[in-house]
């Protein structure tokens, strides 16, 4: 599971920052999370294969999270895409996209599915054999949801040399992977721990942007491997954070500490700040294992 940061600025693109866009690679998925202006160029710059994106998660409909989407969706048609895309977002995205498609007379070569996400309660919104995604209710000026991505627990791996050693038939392998013992013709029982190896520990990542300081998210993100939490301001603009319903770096760290996550990454920096260092200084006083979102940074989740 890896997180690639394509854009971590708030409000508007600047010389040094693009607005929000993140790629989460997990199992065979390439999930795009938010799609601020310039996301297409950033996908190119960081060599992300856009054709592999099949699900796009939009936290809310402020422009700095969604203004790159229309261009991306129409570019897919230029490439002759046929595979469907599912868009997860709060209410309103479908109308926004359909109007633009109609007025620009754009015709997509593939199907778009729109899935409206409840911003008041956490729900399971996506699931397959290996991954689940839950929504996270956030508190912002418009309906906003974060997203919690979890790998599923895989069965134990059978040790190939044990199949030969005990002459284990093919039909017995599935139950052994699920924890069964194996009985030899002599009646002797071979314990499962001898026959199998533990699977990789499932990883988890939560994306929480944009939001004011909102402790109800703590139980939802409890003990996860990596929490992305917005930190639009430092403490010198704490009152501005309250007014605009954003968080400070310190507040992001308080959430991470309360949830006992393994690592925190902060971003969504206000253009008022030219340097990011102050965000980190303030956050680490509360939660030590914090890092800064920076464009192009790739975080290997759980690898610490």
Catalytic residues: 64
Q: Is 234 within 8 Å of 273 (Cβ atoms)?
A: yes
Structure tokens at 249: 């770096």
Nearer to Zn ion, 1 or 35 (CB): 35
Count interface residues toward Zn ion (CB under 5 A).
Answer: 3
Query: Cβ-closest residue to Zn ion?
Result: 62
Non-local (6+) Cβ contacts of 114 within 8 A are: 86, 87, 89, 93, 94, 97
Nearer to Zn ion, 19 or 302 (CB): 19
By residue count, the chain amounts to 304
Min. distance of Cβ 69 from Zn ion in angstroms? 14
In angstroms, the CA 260 to CA 122 distance is 19
In angstroms, the CA 138 to CA 211 distance is 6
Closest CA to 5 of 48, 67, 60: 48
* Cα-based torsion angle of the residue sequence 37, 246, 293, 277 in order, rounded to the nearest 10 degrees: 120
Binding residues for Zn ion restricted to 173-202, rule: CB under 5 A: none
Closest CA to 251 of 121, 146, 264, 297: 264
Nearer to Zn ion, 10 or 176 (CB): 10
Min. distance of Cβ 102 from Zn ion in angstroms? 26
Nearer to Zn ion, 35 or 72 (CB): 35
Min. distance of Cβ 296 from Zn ion in angstroms? 20
Structure tokens at 130: 């290996």
Binding residues for Zn ion restricted to 8-67, rule: CB under 5 A: 62, 64
Which range binds Zn ion by CB under 5 A, 41-49, 130-138, 153-161, 203-211?
A: 203-211
Which range binds Zn ion by CB under 5 A, 42-50, 83-91, 171-179, 206-214?
A: 206-214
Min. distance of Cβ 10 from Zn ion in angstroms? 5
Site string for Zn ion, 88-117 (x = CB under 5 A): ------------------------------
Nearer to Zn ion, 65 or 134 (CB): 65
Min. distance of Cβ 129 from Zn ion in angstroms? 33
Should residue 246 be labelled a site residue for Zn ion when binding is judged by CB under 5 A? no
Which range binds Zn ion by CB under 5 A, 210-218, 236-244, 279-287, 294-302?
A: 210-218
Strand blocks (E) in 139-274? 144-151, 157-158, 182-183, 189-190, 196-197, 204-208, 226-230, 263-267
Min. distance of Cβ 156 from Zn ion in angstroms? 43
How do 53-57 and 29-35 pair as beta strands?
A: parallel
Site string for Zn ion, 64-83 (x = CB under 5 A): x-------------------
Q: Is 107 within 8 Å of 77 (Cβ atoms)?
A: yes
Closest CA to 47 of 28, 25, 69: 25
Nearer to Zn ion, 196 or 248 (CB): 248
- Single out the residue of 34, 37, 151, 210 in contact with Zn ion (rule: CB under 5 A): 210
In angstroms, the CA 123 to CA 99 distance is 28
Residues that bind Zn ion (CB under 5 A): 62, 64, 210
């Amino acid at each position: 599971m890896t997180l690639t940061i394509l854009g971590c600025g708030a409000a508007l693109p600047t010389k040094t920052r693009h607005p929000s866009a993140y790629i989460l690679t997990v199992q065979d998925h390439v999930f795009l999370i938010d799609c601020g202006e310039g996301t297409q160029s950033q996908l190119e710059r960081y060599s992300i294969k856009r054709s592999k994106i099949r699900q796009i998660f939009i936290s809310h409909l402020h422009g700095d999270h969604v203004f790159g989407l229309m261009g991306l969706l129409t570019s897919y048609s230029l490439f002759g895409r046929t595979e469907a895309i599912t868009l997860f977002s709060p209410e309103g995205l479908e109308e926004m996209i359909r109007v633009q498609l109609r007025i620009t007379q754009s015709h997509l070569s593939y199907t778009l599915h729109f899935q409206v996400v409840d911003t008041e309660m956490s729900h399971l919104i996506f699931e397959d054999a290996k991954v689940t995604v839950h929504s996270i209710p956030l508190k912002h000026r418009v309906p906003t949801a974060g997203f919690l991505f979890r790998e599923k627990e895989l069965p134990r791996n059978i040790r190939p040399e044990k199949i030969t050693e005990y002459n284990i038939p093919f039909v017995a392998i599935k139950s052994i992977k699920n924890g069964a013992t194996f009985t030899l013709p002599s009646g002797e029982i071979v314990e499962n721990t001898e026959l199998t190896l533990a699977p990789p520990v499932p990883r988890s990542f939560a994306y929480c942007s944009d939001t004011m300081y909102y402790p109800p998210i703590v139980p939802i993100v409890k003990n996860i491997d990596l929490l992305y939490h917005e930190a639009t301001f430092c403490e010198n603009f704490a009152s501005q954070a309250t007014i605009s319903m954003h968080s400070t770096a310190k507040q992001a760290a308080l959430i991470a500490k309360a949830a006992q996550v393994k690592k925190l990454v902060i971003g969504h920096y206000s253009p008022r700040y030219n340097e990011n260092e102050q965000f980190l200084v303030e956050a680490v006083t509360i939660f030590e294992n914090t890092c800064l979102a920076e464009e192009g940074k790739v975080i290997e989740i759980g690898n610490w």
